[in-house]
Structure 1
Amino acid sequence: MKQLLQFELYKIFRQKGIYIVMVLMFLLFSLVMVSESRNVSPKADTYATEVKEELNTFAQEWEGNLTSERVEEATQTLDSVPYAYTPTSSLTDEELAKYNIVQQILFNDNTTRDINSKITELEIKLDKLSKNDISYKTALLEINMLNHLKLDTFQYNQGPINTIDFVERFAPYFTGILMLIGLASIFVNETNTGMDQLIYSSTYGRRKGVTAKIIASIIYVLFLTIVWVTFNIIMNSYIYGNIGWNSPIQFLRYPESPYALTAIEYFFSQIGIHLLVAIAFMAFVLTVSALTKSTLVSFIISAVTFLLPTINFGVPYWEYVKKYSFSNFMTAPEFTKPFHALNLFGVPVLDPVVNYPLVALFTVMFMMLLYKAIKNKQVA
């Protein structure tokens, strides 16, 4: 078994196309990330790296409890910054840092006010509903989640914002495309070269051969995940710094999220869910490869399944195709959306509790189909 696994790993990692595409994608990601780092300040010709030290220094002065006095002080500080809304505004690095930090503080305060208003609305709604009604149970669940949010402290968090944003915008394409390149031909090539006759007739048998391919593919998925996570952290830490990971996700770009997660907790959740969905897609790609007789057909079917839902089409119900696609689930989107729960037998159940066990179930189903396909494959 060990030799089979080593052989399968060798066949995957020897493909030069993997490394060429990987380098090209990282170059593209780097260009986009550096270009967008201008958005950290209101001055169009200033990158985040140029004011990183000033941002971190000024942020330390404001870290701590987000009291009404601090918010008022932030408002006065913002009014004192001589900022004109033109691309040519001439601000010092210190003024740019000050502008950015106090803007974030005021955003956090507005978010907190909106959430408190939402809690008040839900409490009024509860008074009008019957306790046995599903609407009452759903509203009560949302109130309990919102009441558990900790929104009373400030941390500068541009680094975590962009690190998490990378997972949403780039990581699914990186993993998905490189999985297509590395795995779409894993079974088809053996059929085309006649190697399947030797492998499936050997003493190792079909089951061990398939198991070795699955384990090798999982290792490949882990490798891809480790690579993009490392690149993501290094690049965003270099551009923005690495502070702010204890910020609640409501203070990132997700003010409507009801989940009591910090930036670091959500980032690790993203990685875990990304891996889960990537393994589900891996099982799908391997199954397609086992059922088809052409490398091109295997690649096209898998590529269309992964990439097509990322495109916006103005057709009825297409939003559901996008919502329940591999590429969407890889971003762990449920944790950043407004509150939503499914009615399961009169009990409100949060989306992640339903969706990701189903993803795991589909993974097992694809695996079973894969073993069955190879077991029934005829060898000349």
Structure 2
Amino acid sequence: MRAMSGDQVTEAVRGCVTTLRAAVDRDWTAVRAGGVEWDCHVTALHVAECLLAYAGNLAGHAKDAYVPFEMRLEDGAGNDGLLHVLETAGALLAAAVNTAAPGDRGFHPYPFRSADGEGFAAMGVAEVLLHTHDMAQGLGLEYAPAESLADAVLTSIFPHVQPGPEAWPTLLWATGRGELAGRPAVDGWRWTNNLVLPSERLTLTGLRPAAARDLRLGGAGGFTWLGGAPYEGTREAAGFLVKAYEAGLHRPEFGVFTLVRTADGLAVGGIGFHGTPDPEGRVEIGYDLIPEARGQGYATEAVRTLTAWASARDDVHQIVATVEPENPASERVLARAGFHRAPAEQEETTRREHGMESGLRLFVFRG
């Protein structure tokens, strides 16, 4: 799994321009771009417009809507000019991504109203790869991007899509452009940027599969950690996220979040769900802090933020947490966040029906 940066935008655009230049002398307005409704000229212009808009939204820190500008190709520019514009827009997005601060985000409507630099890079690369495929198909050109690019797109903005044997055919299938053995045809699709939940002093930043894999393997996951490294519980949770992703069971909004301190951008811990809501709407949360960040109320703040978000959903009806008896500090965190110790009968039922380990104490959120 490869994290996204401006370098991947540059690589994708280079492959697109190299492919299309083989047909630069043809009339692109007369050729439909594969299965889309546009001709190849309109499609190439659309890609350039997306790259420029993403660069503008990220660099301009757009909050509630796209930055209000649009791009127009000069009359008589021709295919060579269009490719130059596409290259330029790609360079602007790459620069915006590579110079963005880790916490910078800009507006994008789906699904959580914002994206960070990695998200904008991934969306830009997706536009390039998929529409180059469309245009190459219409123009009768051979095109296949590097597997690493397709994999990076999947692990960045398609975390809900189970990986296939190869990344590029999987991305084509996931966007309704191809078949994949054993999977039904895709009629409608959306990509998904990571969910970010702000609190008073923290930002709960949703982990992408690529970052989770890096954490599981001993890396930093793209974050700078207070004390130099995450707590072991965060690495373990990241491993569970990767397993769910590989099994096709991952839902990013019920995944793992890194706790990033707003004041200095340092990651101080992790919080997340043990899985998606069960048929009764029950979810379990877990959390940890690195030792240097304990005793400052960060865990309570994070638990309050996550439970408030989950409680507002229609598919969540009960939020629980489990604590070891020798961890009174965690019990105090839950109590301050609105949880209460469950009765012994409920604990026994949870052990029997949900596999709660013997000896753990069950706490239930009551607001």
TM norm structure 2: 0.26
Higher relative contact order (CA 8 A, sep 6+): 1
Q: Greater Rg, structure 1 or structure 2?
A: 1
- Larger strand share, 1 or 2: 2
